[in-house]
Amino acid sequence: MAAVGEPDVVWSLPGADAAAGWRALLWTVRVEGGIAVLLAQERFLRRDYGVWHARERFDAEVVFVSGEGAVQRRVPLRGVEPGAAHFAVLPGDRFLLVRGRSHEGAEGRWEPNAVVHGADGATVERAFCVGDDIPALVTDRRGGIWAAYGDEGIYGNHPQTAAGLAGWSGRGRHTWGPDGRLPAWPLEGLAAATEREAVWLAWYSGGGEGTHLSRVTPATGEVATFRSPAHGIDGIAVCGDRAVVSRRDHGKHSTTLIRAGLGADGVWTVGGEERLRMPGPVRMRCGQGRDGVLWLRAGDAWVRVRA
């Protein structure tokens, strides 16, 4: 394994914000490039194992950061409910917040766990359910929502979650499922990314089947699945026949990057592996990929790596 120096920090939470009580709660990689970071006041939060969680309903600010690290604007976001595990920016600069879990009501209706906030940050456009137990989620260029589910959801009662992978519209309509086209049954979602119009979902299957990468074409519904070049991954970015995946050293200032190439035989082959020294501790959901660029969060700093 080759060692590399610390990557350049693209953006970090300004000291003035930290002193004013702002904490980085959630973040996402934007389709246009750059990131959006959801900030909340510490008085509304609790910290478990180094990770911030909301204790109650709160008002937030969303910071839009360019790919070069420049703050483009800040948008207030009102009335955010606690429990969100995923954050995304939809077309029209609307905001999506998704809780990882949902629950089935007495009449068989699943409670909403996805909320769409309007671009003004003050209105809630709609709320709906996108399945239960969601460790990995990403949105595409058209506002579609893609999820890879965990074992409690897959072996639970939600009808779409049981397939392991699913696509949803921005209005909460189920738009895609694998329909028996996967080589094995998913057990746990690991990571998600987009590559132009395609969506990549990384997942693990038990029974010795290992880790897989599924590429979905939303326009046609086609899916192609490959064996992953590495196991235990938590971030992925793909550009054509090149990919980079990450495997974090949880809670430490380092992560492992694996670079791979896709051959004509449809097999991803490892081309190199390196340990990356990070500017802060690396924890769950630390990596997100867009169009061949893998963004990694380390504490309150963000770096990026190209496939």
pLDDT at 156: 95
What one-character-per-residue DSSP string does 134-202 give?
Answer: -SEEEE-TTS-EEEE--HHHHTSS-TTGGGSEEEE-TTS-EEE--TT-SSS---EEEEEEEETTEEEEE
pLDDT by residue (tens digit) across 113-128?
999 999 999 999 999 9
d(CA 95, CA 125): 10
pLDDT at 188: 97
pLDDT by residue (tens digit) across 145-197?
999 999 999 999 999 999 999 999 999 999 999 999 999 999 999 999 999 99
Burial class (CB in 10 A: 0-12, 13-18, 19+), 102: buried
pLDDT at 27: 97
- Give yes or no for a contact between 54 and 82, defined as CB atoms under 8 angstroms apart: yes
Model confidence at 248, pLDDT cuts 50, 70, 90, reads confident
Residue 69 CA neighbour count, 13 Å, CB half: 11
pLDDT at 71: 97
More confident site: 60 or 206? 60
Share of the chain above pLDDT 90, in %: 89
Residue with tokens 């169009």: 291
Alpha-carbon dihedral of residues 149, 151, 154, 156, nearest 10 degrees?
-130
For the chain, state the CA radius of gyration: 18
pLDDT at 3: 52
- Give yes or no for a contact between 211 and 228, defined as CB atoms under 8 angstroms apart: yes
pTM for this one?
A: 0.95
pLDDT by residue (tens digit) across 277-288?
999 999 888 899
d(CA 33, CA 300): 19
Lowest mean pLDDT among 14-23, 51-60, 203-212: 203-212
- Give yes or no for a contact between 40 and 22, defined as CB atoms under 8 angstroms apart: yes
Query: For the chain, what is the largest distance between any 2 Cα atoms, rounded to a whole number of angstroms?
Result: 56
pLDDT at 5: 63
**Domains, the chain, ordered by start:** 7-306 (2.120.10)
